[in-house]
Structure 1
Amino acid sequence: MSIFLNKDSKVIVQGITGGEGSKHTARMLAAGTQIVGGVNARKAGTTVSHTDKDGNAIDLPVFGSVAEAMAKTGADVSVAFVPPAFSKDAIIEAIDAEIGLLVVITEGVPVQDSAYCWAYNVEKGQKTRIIGPNCPGIITPGEALAGITPANISGKGPIGLVSKSGTLTYQMMFELRDFGFSTAIGIGGDPVIGTTHIDAIAAFEADPETELIVMIGEIGGDAEERAADYIKANVTKPVVGYVAGFTAPEGKTMGHAGAIVSGSSGTAQAKKDALEAAGVKVGKTPSETAALAREIMKSRVSA
């Protein structure tokens, strides 16, 4: 099992003819993703040449819109590699087409554009799940990749991972590669994102093959505190966590646009305290968090 993405997902790439879109289309195909086409209104009617996971040459059609791509291919997932200035239009187009899952990789999307798109999606009935922006996307190892996560870090297994940080997603997948992952999601670190820790944790809780949930947060906002409340009330599976930013100097905005701390709210310590109060084991480093996860998994195996 997995959440949100599997081997049957039919994926299109918005921006498939651009440099980043082309490079990562090749990597997604190599990971086994069923990519069925792309979108670029200026190059509609053309094709782009790639190689599938078995080394066979394939030509992917380029469509003028997401709606046309869905109608012609049955696509239910889109990955958007679109520059920040055009991301709002690309997201709205995907929402209007009612595609099931949209992964927005782009960094630097204006917060007001993200907020507009979020509100627009709610108004339209939330038929589209949005992951991102400013994220590495989602991977179900051995089945499909929608995004930029390296597919060779880890194989399939019983751990579900949700992370604000792309780099820490990769590190955690590598550290726990001996167990493997059902699905790993990088939700992005911007102040306004489409899929939250809570959304992913709820899906992992409902997934019969996910035995342990790892959540990675970082300073800024209150997403982790809200996730802690949700875990306490609704989650029966073991959860381990890590919060990036314990050494962040007070009063400075760090890295991600979402890493804004107000008073004690949003600090790594406040988030750690909230998670531990909800029964989540929290490591002070990514490796310590991986060790906590490993202990739980080994105890489950021996039991």
Structure 2
Amino acid sequence: MGVLVGRETRALVQGVTGREGSFHTRLMLDYGTRVVAGVTPGKGGQEIHGVPVYDSVREALAEHPEVNASVVFVPARFAKDAVLEAVSAGIRLVVVITEHIPLHDELAMIRYAKLVGSTIVGPNTPGVICPGERCKLGIMPAKMFESGVVGLVSRSGTLAYEVARRLSEEGFGISTFVGLGGDPVVGLSMVEAVRMFFRDEATQCVVVVGEIGGTMEERLANYIASRGAEKPVVAFIAGRSAPRGKKMGHAGAIAYAGVGTAESKISRLRRAGVTVARSVSDITSLVAKYIS
């Protein structure tokens, strides 16, 4: 089992009959992911790519009790209800691909998930992939991710794809990639994800791709400064030239004076002992120093 996902994962897709849900279900199946059920209210009884569709999560679980993860492709206005339905039914890993979910909906579903012990990855995440165990829950281009020994955590999807491609081409590969999501509020935090990689036997080094906005990277720096890093950590922070107070791409990528800037994150991480790359192209050479 990789970090969060692996060959033991049995997935349900919420919003499976929609355009995005159907398309990415096919790609997940082609990759090797065990997608055993789908849910779209009012569409029960159909099949999508051989996957049976049910009207509710509880109906799906009644027929497929082995389900232990859900991938959410539901439109933003229905996403909160979909996530709460999955968590209430006992699913302990919910990967929320949907973007533009209202902030108060995000807060409500993340709070409830924490109360009952479920993990939400996202919202607005590319997902999670474990190449060595052929399990992908999300929308990332699988060809960028070769199996290897580097754990990759990122707030940005496209930057993570480029980092994964470079690490794979250099022969280091990826043990698991976790996309945290680009919104200001997300479920799984950077600290939580990095701690999972510290405990993962398949991971020798952790690469963190951060960006301006929020305090995830600062919190990671605080954690490592106080607890220490159990494995080497290499970080890259995007947005050095971003103007302050202007949102850059992601809703969470906005920096104000002295808060959430690339400079503040880089400084804090370096003081904590984290190796910080100046550019994406530097990451592989820095990783090479730590991998035998």
Residues 91-170 of structure 1 mapped to structure 2, 5 A cutoff = 91-123=83-115, 125-126=116-117, 128-142=118-132, 143-170=134-161
Which of 245, 260, 266 aligns to 1:266? It is 260
In 1: Cα distance, 2:219 partner to 2:73 partner? 30
Matching residue's letter, 2:157? G
Question: Which has the larger displacement, 265-274 or 286-295?
Answer: 286-295
Corresponding position of 1:2: 2
2:62 is equivalent to residue 62 of structure 1: no
Matching residue's letter, 1:137? G
Corresponding position of 1:296: 290
Question: Which has the larger displacement, 283-292 or 32-41?
Answer: 283-292
In 1: Cα distance, 2:108 partner to 2:245 partner? 29
Kindly state the Cα deviation for residue 67 of structure 1 after the two structures are TM-superposed.
Answer: 2.1
2:190 is equivalent to residue 197 of structure 1: yes
TM-score scaled by structure 2? Answer: 0.95
Residues 7-26 of structure 1 mapped to structure 2, 5 A cutoff = 7-26=7-26
Matching residue's letter, 2:91? I
8 Å contact from structure 1 (residues 173, 181) kept in 2: yes
Kindly state the Cα deviation for residue 115 of structure 1 after the two structures are TM-superposed.
Answer: 0.6
Matching residue's letter, 1:136? P
Residues 42-57 of structure 1 mapped to structure 2, 5 A cutoff = 42-48=42-48, 50=49
Kindly state the Cα deviation for residue 234 of structure 1 after the two structures are TM-superposed.
Answer: 4.0
Matching residue's letter, 1:21? G
Corresponding position of 1:80: 72
Which of 245, 248, 255 aligns to 1:251? It is 245
Which of 160, 171, 184 aligns to 2:162? It is 171
8 Å contact from structure 2 (residues 244, 257) kept in 1: no
SS in 1 for 2:113: helix
Q: Can you list the C-alpha shifts for 1:124-162, whole angstroms capped at 9, x where unaligned?
A: x22x21100101000000420000111111221111010
8 Å contact from structure 1 (residues 70, 76) kept in 2: no
Question: Which has the larger displacement, 137-146 or 258-267?
Answer: 258-267
8 Å contact from structure 1 (residues 34, 144) kept in 2: yes
Question: Which has the larger displacement, 287-296 or 11-20?
Answer: 287-296
In 2: Cα distance, 1:7 partner to 1:209 partner? 14
In 1: Cα distance, 2:199 partner to 2:216 partner? 20
In 2: Cα distance, 1:9 partner to 1:43 partner? 24
In 1: Cα distance, 2:59 partner to 2:153 partner? 32
8 Å contact from structure 1 (residues 13, 39) kept in 2: yes
SS in 2 for 1:176: helix
In 2: Cα distance, 1:155 partner to 1:133 partner? 25
In 1: Cα distance, 2:69 partner to 2:29 partner? 14
Kindly state the Cα deviation for residue 252 of structure 1 after the two structures are TM-superposed.
Answer: 1.6
Gapped runs of 5+ residues in structure 2? none
Q: Can you list the C-alpha shifts for 1:85-139, whole angstroms capped at 9, x where unaligned?
A: 111111111111120210000111111110111122233x22x211001010000
SS in 1 for 2:142: coil
- Identity within the alignment, %: 45
Corresponding position of 1:55: none
Matching residue's letter, 1:85? R
8 Å contact from structure 2 (residues 32, 135) kept in 1: yes
Q: Can you list the C-alpha shifts for 1:39-61, whole angstroms capped at 9, x where unaligned?
A: 0111012222x2xxxxxxxx211
Gapped runs of 5+ residues in structure 1? 51-58
In 2: Cα distance, 1:235 partner to 1:93 partner? 37
In 1: Cα distance, 2:145 partner to 2:215 partner? 30
Kindly state the Cα deviation for residue 295 of structure 1 after the two structures are TM-superposed.
Answer: 3.0
Corresponding position of 2:209: 216
The number of equivalent residue pairs is 287
Matching residue's letter, 2:107? A
In 2: Cα distance, 1:170 partner to 1:244 partner? 14
In 2: Cα distance, 1:278 partner to 1:207 partner? 22
In 2: Cα distance, 1:81 partner to 1:290 partner? 33
